[in-house]
Amino acid sequence: MAVLPSSPLPPTDKNTLTVTDNRTGKTITIPITHNSIPAIAFKALKGEVPEEAKDGVDTDDTANGIRVFDPAFLNTAAISSKITFIDGDKGFLMHRGYPIEQLAEKSDFLETAYLLIYGELPSKSQSEIWKFEVMHHTEIADDLAKVIGSMRYGLPPPPVPSAYDSHPMSVFISAFAAMGAFAPEANPALQGRNLYIQDKAIMNKNIIRIIGKSATVAAASMRVRMNRPFIAPRSDMSFAENMLYMMDATSDAENYKPDPRLAEALETLFILHADHEMNCSTATMTHVGSSLVDPYSAVAAAAAALYGPLHGGANEAVIRMIERIGTVDKVPAFLSAVKAKKELLFGFGHRVYRNTDPRSKIIRQVAETVFAACGHEPLIEVATALKDAALADPWFVEKKLYPNVDYWSGLIYRSLGFPLDFFPVLFAVPRVAGWLAHWKQAIEAPNPKIWRPRQIYVGEKVRDYVPVEEREEWEIKDGREGIMGLPHYQSRRRLGAKL
């Protein structure tokens, strides 16, 4: 990221931005590097402290210069990165310079993970060592397995024996949060803040551990949901094949082998989901990691961000939408309702892509392979009709609403037999590689700093404390309103319920 020079740049320099503060008439010239400017440059534009604040506190913080206000980070770059590039207008995605189409066709997940994390495709010997190490770090500690196995009950409450309905993503997040306790040597809080700068072997060992165990934790979260015993991983299988094996194998596990077509399809899906630049969960991983917390805790935080329906739960929303449409003949009415803002269209459009999601083209081909192996998916006809109708409608084309990767991935996962609430886990497992790549890049950056965004304060000015006896009562209506919903809790207290 560019920095403000110590002396003003000449206004004639084309690679600069000249800004004039009309409040004071002060002009600054800011360098443009990689089509970006340093936000800290605006601190030089200091306004006058408001009259009413001169003898008190300046809540606008005028004396510290202008802040750049960007809710939801719509146009803020917090890092410079060499990992993933997206051209949203052209519908182009590449990792470390390699187009996603080439990686999906020619690579496998573990090789793509190596590329993301270490910057280059591995040599033959590097690839063999890397895959051997990852697949031999797939087992989880017995005590961690007990933690996962205990997360069974949701509603109804015990002792109902069939209530194995804990959300798999909650299990996945909790398992990674707990996993850090089983690796004290990986914790900078215990081993020193420069642990991962001074000891690359420790960094690499824990990267390998996290990737290897991610599939095992995912499979365990599925098995506990099914009330079945955990299956030990197999190091002689590919990454995706091993995950399918751990989820599907029965007591006759030694003779079971997943359908190679499905394993290959899942490998491709994992490549497509491995990284997608600075999205919500990756930003979370980088933000939390900037405190120098252990990577297991950072992965748990990133997985929690992915859990949300606006992020990793999008493909689940697609399935629910298509199920609600039901039949092909109801597609026109549904699209009309979308135009009238009476329905939401999931799986179309993207915050980054303005043309088409390049991953959606690849995943459509994967879908055909899966459907051929698993049998025809009844919803595919509705999904295809919806896609065709939307792409032929000028209203959707004008708004650049094209199918994205979530549109087809949900249908594939459904065809593979995964329950809807397991979809985010299938997203999280490969995305662990991307999270670790950005975590490693941030840790190794020159002079890394803890992330500490600034805010624009718009609250009350300085005021005096009022004793509780002198405060006005809040107006309560229908037992629902009032500050923080307190009337609801008060009624529970009166009933003797636990708060």
- Going along the chain from its start, the domains and CATH numbers come out as 16-64 (no CATH), 99-152+165-459 (1.10.580.10)
Q: Mean per-residue pLDDT for 446-451?
A: 90
Q: Mean per-residue pLDDT for 372-389?
A: 86
- pLDDT tens by residue, 57-87: 777 778 888 889 998 888 889 899 999 999 8
What pLDDT sits at residue 211? 98
Task: Say if CB 382 and CB 331 are below 8 A apart.
Answer: yes
How sure is the predictor about 166, in pLDDT bands with cuts at 50, 70 and 90? Answer: confident
Exposure class string for 490-499: b at 16+ Cβ within 10 A, else e: eeeeeeeeee
CA–chain centroid gap for 390, Å, is: 27
Q: Which run of H or of E encompasses 92?
A: strand 92-95
Among 279-283, 284-288, 450-454, 492-496, which stretch is predicted with the lowest mean pLDDT?
Answer: 492-496
Among 90-104, 137-151, 462-476, which stretch is predicted with the lowest mean pLDDT?
Answer: 462-476
- pLDDT tens by residue, 318-364: 888 999 999 999 999 999 999 999 998 888 877 676 667 888 888 88
Task: Say if CB 248 and CB 258 are below 8 A apart.
Answer: yes
Average pLDDT, the chain: 86
Q: Is the pLDDT of residue 127 over 90?
A: yes
Beta bridge partners of 87: 92
How sure is the predictor about 183, in pLDDT bands with cuts at 50, 70 and 90? Answer: very high
Q: Say what the pTM is.
A: 0.86
- DSSP for 192-233, written as a single string: -TTHHHH-HHHHHHHHHHHHHHHHHHHHHHHHHHHT------
Q: Is the pLDDT of residue 489 over 50?
A: no
What torsion do the CA atoms of 455, 458, 463, 466 make, to the nearest 10 degrees? -100
How sure is the predictor about 6, in pLDDT bands with cuts at 50, 70 and 90? Answer: very low
Active site residues: 350, 406
State whether the Cα torsion 282-285-290-292 is positive or negative. Answer: negative
Residue 55 is given by DSSP the state T
Task: Say if CB 265 and CB 366 are below 8 A apart.
Answer: yes
- One-letter amino acid identity for 357? D
- pLDDT tens by residue, 403-417: 888 888 888 898 888
Angle, helix 423-443 to helix 260-273, in steps of 10 degrees: 50
What pLDDT sits at residue 265? 94
What pLDDT sits at residue 143? 95
Q: Mean per-residue pLDDT for 264-277?
A: 95
Helical segments of 290-330, H only: 295-307, 314-325
- pLDDT tens by residue, 187-214: 999 999 999 999 999 999 999 999 999 9
Exposure class string for 206-218: b at 16+ Cβ within 10 A, else e: bbbbbbbbbbbbb
How sure is the predictor about 171, in pLDDT bands with cuts at 50, 70 and 90? Answer: very high
- pLDDT tens by residue, 13-34: 789 999 999 989 999 999 999 9
CA–chain centroid gap for 131, Å, is: 25
Distance (Å, whole) CA 434 – CA 292: 18
Beta bridge partners of 153: 164
Task: Say if CB 230 and CB 251 are below 8 A apart.
Answer: no
What pLDDT sits at residue 354? 66
What pLDDT sits at residue 288? 97
Distance (Å, whole) CA 138 – CA 132: 11
